[in-house]
Amino acid sequence: MVPTPRAAVRADRLRTLNVPELVAVELGADGRPAAVRRSAGQSVSDSTVEAILENWRIDDEWWRQPIARRYYEVMLNGGAHVVLFEDLAAGGWFVQKP
Amino acid sequence: MTQTPHLTSESAACCWIPLFALRCETTRRPELAALPVALVGPDDTRRVWQVAPLARRVGVKPGMTVSQAIGLCPALKLCEPDPVHYDEQFSQLVAALGQVSPVVEPAELGRAYVGTDGLEGLYGAPEKIVEAIVCGALHTPHSALRIGWGKGKFVSWVAATRAKPGAAVIVPVGGEAKFLASQPLAVLPLDPDTHRRLLQLGVKTLGALVALPEEAVVSQFGRAGRQLWRLAAGLLAEPVVGLVVPEPIVAALTFFTPVGERDLLAHALDKLIDRALADPRRSGWRVQVVRVHAELEHGASWLMEATLKDPSATRERIAAPLKTQLERSPPAGAVERFVVEFTAFAPGTTELQLFARDAAAAARTGRRRALQSAAREIALRIRRPMLYHIIEVQPWSRLPERRYALIDFEP
């Protein structure tokens, strides 16, 4: 029998999934997201936030590189549901699938 | 037609290649040999299955989750398992052992027993029989074979576990009890509870177990206890049971009127192969040699034979070389009777698909093979890896990007 030849691809390389994407967020008077602006190439462009459906906070890995995020699940003016978070440790807003 | 009766042998040589699947990978991809490698489980891709010594040294153990393993060894190279390849490699090894003795019993991937009763006449003392086995196995890519020789499968298995790679441990007849006495309890087929209870009783070796009265062990552990005691004392010698090789399977068709058209003959060939494949005796075996003969008008005959490089149980693969021959050198006259005969077999799915003992698992293996074939085609067309497999890394993580990862899917 001839052994199945196998391409020498990088089976060992793990690629991260669901990496947060940087977005620009305009805040409302209450300090919560009011509009989301995404750069070209991203799936949604400028959108205003119609409603904030839910928000929660994650604090993790305080023992090494602390991670602190404030998540908002928002509904945009087109009806799309998007999850945004503010990186409270390093700054910046991101969009990410929950 | 009859089947060959079961062949058994009391004296046994256990041939064992630890981490067989991993060795298959390092044989195929030698660059992995110097790296901390682990295979992901064939059924549960979240856990590591076989772990190379380099990775073990830093604490990676079989059964750990992928994320735990990566946490312990960031340089860990994870490979997807390829059960079909391992089975093929193992069937090569079993076939090589079959050249030494007609009694070969595959036990699990990487471990097979060779019955050696009666081989003294051919080879001589057990040392010479072991040499013959090593020589036979040298033709396979697996030279790191450990061999144990003794009376019964258990003694030979324990001896194999004590052998160095490429070497053998021979337990002389009558010396079983002495050899087993110093072996640790873990060599016995114990369930975790019995193991724990025996350790609590201070029994750490087979010698310590045998030192207890047999009846006392039976009263504590029941029938299983008796079996364990007798195994430990070297009194139980389970024989090696060889594979039952089916006799040739024949399917024949007599035409109402002689047939000369090649298309009709090719169609008849398909039908006859289907019929022969459906024979229950073929179950568990792949066809290696197929012979077709035809009785022609006016008493002439015609014969063709094909030896399949890759034994198969699918009609298309068996028929392909025959149809080519039929096109090249068709019968010289009209055919009155057409006969298909499977004359040689290789262990098939139910015998050697050790990952696929049940039908569902066999189907999974088939799907995996089809997927591999499609992936290879895509890779050939696109010329870069574009197919990935999603694995769970830390599915419990509160950070979504930590939960899953992509790993290259390689055919």
Using a CB-CB cut-off of 8 Å, the residues of chain B touching A13 are 407-408
Q: What is the C-alpha to C-alpha distance for residues B103 and B12, in angstroms, rounded to an integer?
A: 9
Q: What is the pLDDT of residue B6?
A: 60
Contact B372 A4 (CB under 8 A): yes
When comparing pLDDT for B195 and B92, which is higher? B195
> pLDDT above 90 covers what percent of chain B?
23
Contact A4 B390 (CB under 8 A): no
Contact B401 A15 (CB under 8 A): no
* Per-residue DSSP letter, B10: S
Contact B145, B96 (CB under 8 A): no
Q: Averaged over B161-190, what is the pLDDT?
A: 90
Q: Averaged over B19-32, what is the pLDDT?
A: 87
Least confident of B67-81, B154-168, B287-301, B344-358: B344-358
Q: Averaged over A70-86, what is the pLDDT?
A: 90
pLDDT at B270 over 90: yes
pTM of the model: 0.55
Using a CB-CB cut-off of 8 Å, the residues of chain B touching A60 are 398-399
Contact B408 A13 (CB under 8 A): yes
pLDDT at B61 over 80: yes
Q: What is the pLDDT of residue B143?
A: 64
Q: What is the C-alpha to C-alpha distance for residues B101 and B133, in angstroms, rounded to an integer?
A: 9
Q: What is the pLDDT of residue B179?
A: 92
Give me the helix-helix angle, B359-382 and B83-98, nearest 10°.
110
Q: What is the pLDDT of residue A10?
A: 47
Least confident of A55-59, B11-15, B101-105, B251-255: B101-105
Q: What is the pLDDT of residue B356?
A: 39
When comparing pLDDT for B350 and A27, which is higher? A27
pLDDT at B162 over 60: yes
pLDDT at B139 over 70: no
Using a CB-CB cut-off of 8 Å, the residues of chain B touching A7 are 376, 379, 385, 410-411
pLDDT at B222 over 90: no
Contact B309 A11 (CB under 8 A): no
Does the beta carbon of A58 lie under 8 angstroms from any beta carbon of chain B?
Answer: yes
The size of the A-B interface in CB pairs under 8 A is: 86
- Alpha-carbon distance A20 to nearest alpha carbon in chain B (angstroms): 7
The one-letter amino acid at B86: Y
Candidates A2, A11, A97; nearest CB to B407:
A11
Q: What residues 24-53 of chain A have any CB closer than 8 A to a CB of chain B?
A: none
Q: What is the C-alpha to C-alpha distance for residues B70 and B405, in angstroms, rounded to an integer?
A: 12
Candidates B89, B403, B411; nearest CB to A6:
B411
Contact A58 B88 (CB under 8 A): no
Q: What is the pLDDT of residue B357?
A: 42
Domain-wise residue ranges, chain B: 1-35+75-245, 249-352, 359-408
Q: Averaged over B182-198, what is the pLDDT?
A: 88
Q: Averaged over B310-337, what is the pLDDT?
A: 88
Residues A5-41, buried b or exposed e (16+ Cβ, 10 A)? ebeeeebbebeebeebeebebeeeeeebbeebebeee
What would the pLDDT profile of B350-371 be if each residue is shown by its tens digit?
A: 444 444 344 445 555 666 667 7
Residues B36-64, buried b or exposed e (16+ Cβ, 10 A)? bbbbbbbeebebbbbbbebbeeeebeeeb
Contact A2 B408 (CB under 8 A): no
pLDDT at B144 over 90: no
Q: Averaged over B364-393, what is the pLDDT?
A: 74
DSSP B165-231: TT-EEE--TT-HHHHHHTSBGGGS---HHHHHHHHHTT--BHHHHHHS-HHHHHHHHHHHHHHHHHH
Average pLDDT, chain B: 83
Q: What is the pLDDT of residue B340?
A: 93
Contact B407 A9 (CB under 8 A): no
Dihedral sign for Cα atoms in the order B281, B284, B289, B294: positive
Q: What is the pLDDT of residue B4?
A: 43
Q: What is the pLDDT of residue B82?
A: 78
**Max Cα separation, chain B?**
83
What would the pLDDT profile of B117-128 be if each residue is shown by its tens digit?
A: 988 888 888 889
User: Has domain B1-35+75-245 been given CATH number 3.30.70.270?
Assistant: yes
Residue of A nearest to B31 (CA): A8
Contact B376 A7 (CB under 8 A): yes
Contact B113, B76 (CB under 8 A): no
Does the beta carbon of B383 lie under 8 angstroms from any beta carbon of chain A?
Answer: no
Contact B388 A15 (CB under 8 A): yes
> pLDDT above 70 covers what percent of chain B?
89
Q: Averaged over B164-177, what is the pLDDT?
A: 89
When comparing pLDDT for B156 and B137, which is higher? B156
Structure tokens at B323: 């149809």
Does the beta carbon of B79 lie under 8 angstroms from any beta carbon of chain A?
Answer: yes
Q: In which element (H, E) is residue B360 found?
A: helix B359-382
pLDDT at B132 over 90: no
Q: What is the C-alpha to C-alpha distance for residues B127 and B148, in angstroms, rounded to an integer?
A: 11
Q: What is the pLDDT of residue B145?
A: 86
Q: What is the C-alpha to C-alpha distance for residues B82 and B191, in angstroms, rounded to an integer?
A: 29
Instruction: Give the residue from A9, A12, A22, A56 with the most B CB atoms within 10 Å of its CB, the best one to mutate.
Output: A12
- Which residues have C-beta within 8 Å of that of residue B135, sequence separation ≥ 6? none
Residue matched to tokens 């946490």:
B71
- Alpha-carbon distance B363 to nearest alpha carbon in chain A (angstroms): 19
Here the ipTM equals 0.79
Using a CB-CB cut-off of 8 Å, the residues of chain A touching B407 are 11-15
Q: What is the C-alpha to C-alpha distance for residues B368 and B375, in angstroms, rounded to an integer?
A: 10
Distance of CA B236 to the CA centre of its chain: 26
Candidates A3, A9, A97; nearest CB to B408:
A9
Q: What's the pLDDT band for B348 if we cut at 50, 70, 90?
A: low
Q: What is the pLDDT of residue A33?
A: 92
Reduce the DSSP state of residue B384 to 3 states and report it. coil
Candidates A2, A4, A14; nearest CB to B309:
A2
Q: What's the pLDDT band for B149 if we cut at 50, 70, 90?
A: very high
Residues B183-213, buried b or exposed e (16+ Cβ, 10 A)? bebebbebeeebeeebeeeebebbbebbebe
Using a CB-CB cut-off of 8 Å, the residues of chain A touching B376 are 7
Does the beta carbon of B405 lie under 8 angstroms from any beta carbon of chain A?
Answer: yes
Q: What is the pLDDT of residue A2?
A: 42
CA dihedral B390, B393, B395, B401 (to 10 degrees): -80
- Alpha-carbon distance A7 to nearest alpha carbon in chain B (angstroms): 7
- Alpha-carbon distance A72 to nearest alpha carbon in chain B (angstroms): 14
- Alpha-carbon distance A55 to nearest alpha carbon in chain B (angstroms): 14
Which CATH number among 3.20.20.70, 3.30.1490.100, 1.10.1660.10, 3.40.50.150 corresponds to the domain B249-352? Answer: 3.30.1490.100
> What are B241's strand-pairing partners?
B8
Q: Averaged over B378-401, what is the pLDDT?
A: 80
Residue of B nearest to A18 (CA): B401
Residues B270-283, buried b or exposed e (16+ Cβ, 10 A)? bebbeebbeeebbe
